Amino acid sequence: MTLQCYTYIAMSLDGFIAREDGDISWLEDDAYRIKKEDYGYKFFFDTIDTLVIGRKTYESVLNFLQWPYGSKRVLVLSHSPQMISVNQSENMEAANLSPAELVKYLDTTGSHNVYVDGGATIQGFLQAGLINEMVITTIPILLGRGIKLFGKLEHDIKLNLKNVTYFKNGFIQTRYSVRQA
C-alpha cells in the first residue's frame, strides 16, 4: 500500500485541541500572530490529496466563512453519514467505516497522501497504526480542560522525532514519524 496518513494540528501546552464545547477561538489570539507566518501549513496542505475529518470537525468547519479545503477530496467520518450535507464540495463523501476499512477504500480509489484531522479521528487512526507522520504545533497556553489530542491507548505508540521548529511567538512545532509495529 502506498497510501500515507498525516496529522497536522495545534494543541495547548497541556494537550488540548479545543475547549470542552469544541471552541478553538483561542488559536486566533492576536497576541500570538506573526505577520505572514502560516507555520508550514500551506506547504503541508499542498502535499496532500485527501482529507479525513470527523463529524465534529466537519461541523466546526461549517462555521468558517468559506470552505477551507478547496477542491480537495474530503471524507467525513460519522456514525450517521446521512446527517452530513455534502454540498460544500463535489469531492466530498460521508462514510461510516473503521479507520482500517477507510484506508483500504482510499487506497483503492486513488488517494496517496491523506490528512487526518479531528481529535477522535486522529485517535482512531493512531490506535489502528495508520498514522505515518504527525506535525504538532504546541501553543503556549494552558486551557486546563477541553478535548485532548491523545486519549487512552490500548498499547504504546512509539515515535521518532524528525524535526523541531521554534517560533518567536513561543510556538514549538514538532514533527514525528510513527514507528510501525
* Secondary element (H or E) of residue 60: helix 55-61
Beta carbons within 8 Å of 5's beta carbon, 6+ residues apart: 52, 103, 114, 116, 125, 130, 131, 132
Q: What is the pLDDT of residue 95?
A: 86
Q: Chain centroid to CA 35: how far?
A: 24
Residue with the three cell numbers 514507528: 179
Cell output for 9: 494540528
Categorize the per-residue pLDDT at 87 as very low, low, confident or very high, splitting at 50, 70 and 90.
Answer: low
Tell me the average pLDDT across 33-51. Answer: 91
By mean pLDDT, which of 15-19, 53-57, 88-92 is the weakest? 88-92
Rounded CA-CA distance 98/72 in Å is 21
- Whether 38 has a pLDDT exceeding 90, the answer reads no
DSSP code per residue over 6-51: EEEEEEETTSEEE-TT---GGGG-GGG--TT--TTHHHHHHH-SEE
Tell me the average pLDDT across 46-63. Answer: 88
- Whether 181 has a pLDDT exceeding 80, the answer reads no
Tell me the average pLDDT across 95-110. Answer: 93
Higher-pLDDT residue of 128 and 78 is 128
Arithmetic mean of pLDDT over the chain: 89
* Secondary element (H or E) of residue 68: none
Q: Which residues pair with 134 in a beta bridge?
A: 7, 176
Q: What is the pLDDT of residue 71?
A: 85
Categorize the per-residue pLDDT at 55 as very low, low, confident or very high, splitting at 50, 70 and 90.
Answer: confident
Q: What is the pLDDT of residues 129-180, one digit of tens each?
A: 999 999 999 999 999 999 999 988 888 999 999 999 999 999 999 999 998 7
DSSP code per residue over 82-117: GG----S-TTEEEE---HHHHHHHHHHTT--EEEEE
Higher-pLDDT residue of 4 and 64 is 4
Q: What is the pLDDT of residue 82?
A: 57
Higher-pLDDT residue of 72 and 87 is 72
Sketch out the chain's domains with CATH numbers: 4-173 (3.40.430.10)
- Whether 35 has a pLDDT exceeding 90, the answer reads no
